[in-house]
Amino acid sequence: MAAALINVPAKAKSGEIIEIKTLMSHIMETGYRHTVSGEVVPRDIITSFICRFNGAEIFRADLFPAISANPFITFFTTATESGKFEFEWIGDKGFSETASASMTVE
Amino acid sequence: MRALGTIAIVALLTATGVAAAEIPEAQRRSGSTFMAPDTMAMQNDDTANPGMLWALDGEALWKKKAGSADKACADCHGDIRTSMKRVAARYPAFDKALGRPVDREQRINLCRANQQRATPLAYEGRDLLALTAFVAQQSRGTPITTGGDPQLEPFIAKGRGLYMQRQGQLNLACANCHDDNWDKRLAGSAITQGHPTGYPLYRLEWQSLGSLQRRLRSCITGIRAQTYDFGAPELVELELYLMSRARGMPMESPAVRP
């Protein structure tokens, strides 16, 4: 089961700087740990995060093993027009999750 | 007359000695009041609190049919927002059939066994934590009421006994830290008073949600004592004592702790 929590303001004024907060459920297994019997626990992390607004990419991040479980990524952008934010997380073992949120600009 | 006066003073000293060991009600503080403002902000923002990820999963599980009875939690209990309101705040509660107290995780597994006819969920597994978190979330902000049932009294006394009992290679009782030294720090971390107001909670150190029993087992290992298995009656009695000790304090589940 994977779940995402997204916090995008539903309404914003044109030109306003808004904060976008995202929280994705993921174990972020580093690949550096061993089991009691000495076997390496295979790496299982999110490798990239992309945010698109009305289809255009506005934010991208690469993630690495040092990043904690359930990565919380927040960033700022300027509200210019009404539209839809689309979020995408891609990772090891074919991990792929999406979420979206709409915003109205007045 | 003088002898009588001495006895009275001795009795008074003993009485205050006992009273000083336990935290007066006016001085009780939730673990959240020891946290940094950043961690508090994370707990209070439902889109930043990672515990909410488990609550979301719990919401899906609540509606999912399971077991040979092919029933979901929602089929009996309906809307969780009304049926489970304040319920987690009174656990562990006395179970008549078993004749002993059960905690929230055990109650969920009893329901699975008796009503859904499904296999029990594993302790600290994602599903059991998720369901417990979702149920406990319905008691957020409501005062803890555990221990009101008179049938629980002998079990609370046993839990209190374990809390006061020195054990392990370090020869420490829970009370030595959490009653006597809660205003101090241990290796840079706040000791806290040990009020279980926010379980199951997201511990940043664990990078996961965890139950009160996980926390108790860590503490018992920390004093170099032999720990109890998940679901052991001793752990439930300790949970029961701690919850009854925190009576009246508001529930914060799913909370965040450092």
Three-class SS of A65-98:
CCCCCCCEEEEEEECCCCEEEEEEEEECCCCEEE
Q: Are A12 and A105 in contact (CB under 8 A)?
A: yes
**Structure-token pair, residue A4:** 């995402």
Which of residues 54 through 93 in chain B touch A, CB cutoff 8 A? 56-57, 60
SS3 B67: coil
Task: Quote the CA–CA distance of B24 and B118 in Å, as a whole number.
Answer: 44
pLDDT of B13 above 50: no
Distance from CA of A27 to the nearest CA of B (A): 8
Please list every residue in chain B whose beta carbon sits closer than 8 Å to the beta carbon of residue A5.
46-48, 52-53, 56
CATH of the domain at B208: 1.10.760.10
> For position B2, what pLDDT does the model report?
53
* Of B135, B127, B131, B141, residue with least CA distance to B197: B141
Which pLDDT tens digit goes with each residue over B63-115?
A: 999 999 999 999 999 999 999 999 999 999 999 999 999 999 999 999 999 99
> For position B19, what pLDDT does the model report?
39
**Structure-token pair, residue A9:** 């303001």
Determine the structural domain holding residue B200 and report its residue range: 30-258
Distance set, CA B137 to CA A93, B28, B122, B159, B213 (Å): 32, 22, 20, 25, 18
Q: Are A87 and A59 in contact (CB under 8 A)?
A: no
Domain ranges of chain A: 4-105
> For position B234, what pLDDT does the model report?
97
Average pLDDT, chain B: 92
CATH number of A4-105: 2.60.40.10
C-beta atoms of B47 and A25 within 8 A: no
Nearest-CB residue to A72 (from B46, B48, B57): B48
Residues of B noted as catalytic: 219
* Of B247, B257, B243, residue with least CA distance to B104: B243
Question: CB A106: neighbour CB atoms within 10 A?
Answer: 9
In a domain, B4, yes or no: no
- Tell me which chain B residue has its CA closest to the CA of residue A7: B47
> Rounded to 5 degrees, what angle do the CA atoms B232, B159, B241 make?
110
Interface mutation vs chain A, best among B53, B124, B209, most A CBs within 10 Å: B53
In a domain, B58, yes or no: yes
Helical packing angle, B233-245 and B153-164, nearest 10°? 90
Please list every residue in chain A whose beta carbon sits closer than 8 Å to the beta carbon of residue B126.
1
Q: Which residues of chain A are modeled with pLDDT < 70?
A: 1-2
Please list every residue in chain B whose beta carbon sits closer than 8 Å to the beta carbon of residue A6.
47
Q: Are B144 and B249 in contact (CB under 8 A)?
A: yes
Average pLDDT over residues B152-158: 97
pLDDT of B4 above 80: no
Q: Are B243 and B251 in contact (CB under 8 A)?
A: no
Distance from CA of A54 to the nearest CA of B (A): 23
C-beta atoms of A70 and B50 within 8 A: yes
Interface of A with B (CB under 8 A): 1, 3, 5-7, 21, 23, 25, 28, 68-70, 72
> For position B123, what pLDDT does the model report?
97
Question: What is the tally of structural domains in chain B?
Answer: 1
* Of B135, B225, B139, residue with least CA distance to B174: B225
Which pLDDT tens digit goes with each residue over B245-258?
A: 999 999 999 999 99
* Stated pTM of the model: 0.89
- Banded pLDDT at B20 (limits 50, 70, 90): very low
Question: CB B15: neighbour CB atoms within 10 A?
Answer: 10
Complex ipTM over 0.95: no
In a domain, B5, yes or no: no
* Of B125, B120, B105, B74, residue with least CA distance to B212: B105
Distance set, CA B177 to CA A10, B80, B163, B220 (Å): 47, 37, 11, 12
Residue B224 phi, psi (nearest 5): 60, 45
